[in-house]
């Protein structure tokens, strides 16, 4: 029976992913800040919480992240940039998932397929950015993509069948996107179902990639 670990399971997408994985027959372990006190921006917290888990897990999925942190909304122009906003975005959206990957290595089996996936965002694509703005969030997600890509290269040396990827879930109807009523959105349940279909189809040759909810590669 597949063993699944969901990080950030108290959020809209994270909770839906946990529910959908259970429907598909997986044994699901969840961690979140709200329910368990896990702070992905604090390595001691990550090490403590993941260190208490026996593993192994066939899928580790990081669904943490935020667009607005400490009341600082996404910037519409360079003049709105601030060092605190940039640092906060990188801490939560890039450094946090990278720390989870670091401390997940011992929880991933070496003798069979395993997947580590972190939720990224299409706006983190440099090649797909034609609008500008949202500088801190875009840069943090681009940083996440690089960290997972680099981590995947190292992972392949110790876990031959392992896969590490970034996933774009689409625009999902959660509190995260409540401030953007004009966007076409899918439910968390549909997003979760889409993402787990993508995860199930991934191969080791795709490790280090950046994919959307339909399994299509997204430009770096």
For residue range 25-61, what is the model confidence (pLDDT) as tens digits? 999 999 999 999 999 999 999 999 999 999 899 999 9
Q: Where are the domains of the chain?
A: 3-212
Cα–Cα distance measured from residue 152 to residue 185, given in angstroms and rounded to the nearest whole number: 30
- Report the pLDDT value the prediction gives residue 185, as an integer from 0 to 100: 79
Instruction: List strands edge to edge, sheet with 59-62.
Output: 27-31, 3-7, 59-62, 114-119, 162-168, 210-212
Q: How confident is the model at residue 179 (pLDDT cuts 50, 70, 90)?
A: low
Architecture field, domain 3-212: 3-Layer(aba) Sandwich (3.40)
Average pLDDT over residues 2-29: 97
Q: Which of 68-82, 137-151, 164-178 has maximum average pLDDT?
A: 137-151
- Report the pLDDT value the prediction gives residue 191, as an integer from 0 to 100: 96
Report whether the peptide linkage leading into residue 56 is cis, meaning its omega lies within 30 degrees of zero: yes
Given a contact cutoff of 8 angstroms between Cβ atoms, the answer to whether 170 and 191 are in contact is yes
- Report the pLDDT value the prediction gives residue 182, as an integer from 0 to 100: 55
**pTM, whole model, 2 decimals?**
0.93
Cβ of 180: how many Cβ atoms within 10 Å? Answer: 10
Cα–Cα distance measured from residue 5 to residue 49, given in angstroms and rounded to the nearest whole number: 12
Lowest mean per-residue pLDDT among 16-25, 98-107, 185-194: 185-194
Q: How confident is the model at residue 90 (pLDDT cuts 50, 70, 90)?
A: very high
Q: Rounded mean pLDDT of the chain?
A: 94
């Amino acid at each position: 029976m597949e063993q699944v670990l969901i990080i950030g399971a108290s959020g809209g997408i994270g909770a839906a992913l946990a529910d959908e994985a259970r429907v598909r027959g997986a044994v699901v372990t969840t961690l979140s800040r709200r329910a368990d006190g896990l702070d992905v921006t604090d390595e001691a917290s990550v090490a403590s919480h993941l260190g208490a888990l026996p593993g192994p897990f066939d899928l580790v999925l990081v669904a943490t992240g935020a667009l607005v942190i400490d009341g600082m909304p996404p910037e519409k122009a360079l003049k709105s940039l601030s060092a605190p906003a940039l640092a906060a975005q990188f801490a939560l959206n890039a450094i946090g998932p990278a720390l989870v990957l670091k401390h997940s290595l011992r929880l991933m089996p070496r003798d069979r397929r395993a997947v580590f996936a972190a939720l990224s965002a299409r706006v983190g694509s440099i090649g797909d950015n034609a609008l500008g703005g949202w500088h801190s969030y875009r840069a943090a997600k681009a940083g996440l993509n690089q960290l997972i890509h680099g981590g995947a290269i190292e992972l392949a040396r110790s876990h031959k069948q392992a896969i590490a990827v970034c996933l774009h879930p689409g625009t999902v109807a959660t509190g995260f996107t409540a401030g953007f009523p004009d966007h076409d959105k899918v439910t968390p349940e549909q997003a979760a179902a889409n993402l787990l279909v993508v995860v199930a189809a991934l191969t080791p040759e795709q490790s280090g990639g950046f994919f959307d909810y339909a399994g299509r590669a997204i430009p770096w």
